[in-house]
Structure 1
């Protein structure tokens, strides 16, 4: 018995001696974890946080041209922006271009995702069509701008040649001197480049819905369209919110196609917020203060609109749930 007691006391003391070593090893593991995540935070602070806060600082100064010293001017830059007709026009242009390209984009994306996931249609080569629809998103914006600039060029562009050859018009039409035509072309390019990605996101959301719900609906005699409107659409609200918010953010940051295609013309008809910011900062008088103030306004607009979209759709879904329970 005595030996057993001695053995247990020895093992107990041995375990107690090993505990500090184990704790030390765990602490070393924790240190390595901090080492591995440190690069992300360093890059974030250097390339995201610092530029953002420095831009906010510049928006309250008078730094412009080649000056190296900035003086605090309060909210004068924001007041000047409010009175700037070009900036207000850039805001309206941005929303017009986004609305014209997003509405058909979301409708077509839902329609394609419905076709691709329908069991009754059972379409073949869905993967091929999905890749083809996504292909325009891979092409660089500069290449797309060059292609469409050549297609709609005056007077011997392919579009003009086709319209005159079919008798639609008698003389060549200058597309990029027409405000309506230029806006429609830019909106179509944005729609053409992004509807494939939207389709893939929506299709992934539909595939994630439990198939038992659709099987039960078929047993009850529901058609594919009824299943889509009564089951798929309500359950797709989180994905729809994601698509809407990301598209809104991308629309507010629209820059490459309008700038590369026409530089914002004609008559600033496709001048967007980002093209305004770019021109203020890097052309002419290099008004860094005005550019920084416009960037802050864009940041606030993005945050507020995203929050409003999220809140409104979330409140509607909660009200519908309450009505069904009632």
Structure 2
């Protein structure tokens, strides 16, 4: 009887509380470093607060006036620049990363030295973006190595001014973002493919399925959750693009502000100590990021169709 009572007492012990206890550090960190600053930013965005020379103006409550001023500025132009720069870098990034991930994870190819190649393609990811931008600035300057090579090969009689044309500058920024992040994307997609049961690929190959059919019918549907994660995190990172165009254009977004991003626009307000406008722009950027991420998520997952179909 005593043993039965002890066994019943052990069964009644709940370990679910430990899950909540282990979550406390995360929520405490999120509360202190993310949630409270977010609320504070929204609160400060409702005030006029800036410096004019040595004179401090404000803080004076102005309501949504800062938001109206932001929307009357070139916000849409800078949003368009940011999206274009992200697309230029992301499209080749996802294509090359998918190809490399499939190659490295293909059990039939058995590539030799795959570990070495994985390390090489990931190396640009550990280089600071500012250093990367300075390197490209030196390489593609008017008297840089690239122009010297082009002239010696007879492809042009005079130096090509890459950084003075809109698409030349955008192309370099997109190419740098591609170089820095395609290795990380490849590793994530490869890990997702390796998590798929190899019996599915073997069965498809035995049934005579071609490589493209295996990719479209097995690989992509099974790694869809990771693909959505990569797309959304890349979109968020693209909207927060700052260091590469900032260093490459010296913070001016030249030429004709065609490479000025939203975070560079925000940085200009912070540099001028216009905290009210900077707060308003931060809130707008947060809303844009959340909205686009939700749109991408619902489009790719078809959550809306599934919900509608269930009715």
TM range (shorter): 0.7 to 0.9
* Pick aligned residue for 2:196 from 193, 196, 209: 209
Q: What is the aligned partner in structure 1 of residue 261 from structure 2? A: 272
**Residue 144 of structure 1 corresponds to which residue in structure 2?**
132
What is the CA–CA distance in structure 1 between the aligned matches of 2:305 and 2:113, rounded to whole Å?
A: 38
Candidates 81, 100, 104, aligned match of 1:93: 81
CA distance in structure 2 between the partners assigned to 1:317 and 1:163 by the alignment? 52
Partner of 1:72: 61
Once the two structures are TM-superposed, the CA of residue 41 in structure 1 deviates from its matched residue by 4.0
Q: Which residue of 1 aligns with 2:104?
A: 116
Q: Is residue 226 from structure 1 mapped to residue 193 from structure 2 by the alignment?
A: no
Q: Distance in 2 between matches of 1:188 and 1:81?
A: 30
Instruction: Choose 39-48 or 214-223, whichever is displaced more.
Output: 39-48
- State the secondary structure of the residue aligned to 2:171: helix
Q: Deviations along 1:214-253, whole A, 9 cap, x unmatched?
A: 1211221112222112111111211111011000000000
| SS across alignment from 2:88 | helix
Instruction: Report the CA distance shift for 1:41/1:236 in structure 2 as closer, same or farther (over 3 A).
Output: closer
Describe the superposition over 1:128-165 as per-residue Cα deviations: whole angstroms up to 9, x where unpaired. 111111100000112111111110112x2001100111
Distance in 2 between residues matched to 1:202 and 1:37, nearest whole Å: 28
Residue 72 (structure 1) shift: 2.0
- Cα displacement (A) at 1:120: 2.8
Structure 1: state its 5+ residue gaps: 1-7
Query: SS in structure 1 opposite 2:56?
Result: coil
The aligned counterpart of 1:130 is 118
Partners of 1:55 and 1:145 in 2: CA distance: 30
**Once the 2 structures are TM-superposed, how far is the Cα of residue 295 of structure 1 from its aligned partner?**
0.7
Query: How far apart are the structure 2 equivalents of 1:43 and 1:147?
Result: 36
1:39 Cα deviation from its structure 2 partner = 4.8
Kindly indicate whether the alpha-carbon contact (under 8 Å) linking 2:298 and 2:304 is maintained by their aligned counterparts in 1: no
Matched, 1:194 2:187: no
Unaligned ranges ≥5, structure 2: none
Distance (Å, rounded) in 2 between the aligned partners of 1:249 and 1:41? 22
In 2: Cα distance, 1:114 partner to 1:318 partner: 30
Shift of 1:71: 2.2
How does the TM-score come out when normalised to structure 1?
Answer: 0.83
For these two proteins, the number of residue pairs brought into alignment is 296
Equivalent residue number for residue 38 of structure 2: 52
Secondary structure class of the residue paired with 1:70: strand
Which of 63, 71, 75 matches 1:82? 71
Aligned to 1:242: 229
| CA–CA separation in structure 1 for the residues paired with 2:230 and 2:179 | 16
> Larger Cα Rg: Structure 1 or Structure 2?
1
Deviations 1:27-57 (A, max 9, x none): 9xx79x85x7655444333322221111111
Structure-2 separation of matches of 1:60 and 1:318: 39
Q: Distance in 1 between matches of 2:98 and 2:30?
A: 35
RMSD in angstroms over aligned alpha carbons?
2.7
1:163 to 147, 150, 155: 150
Counterpart secondary structure, 2:185: helix
What displacement does 1:119 show?
Answer: 2.7
Higher strand proportion, which one? 2
Cα offsets for 1:234-287 (capped at 9, x unmatched)? 11211111011000000000000000111222221111000100111113xx22
* Superimposed CA distance per residue, residues 49-105 of structure 1 (whole angstroms, 9 cap, x where no aligned partner): 2211111111111112263742221211111111102x2221110000001111111
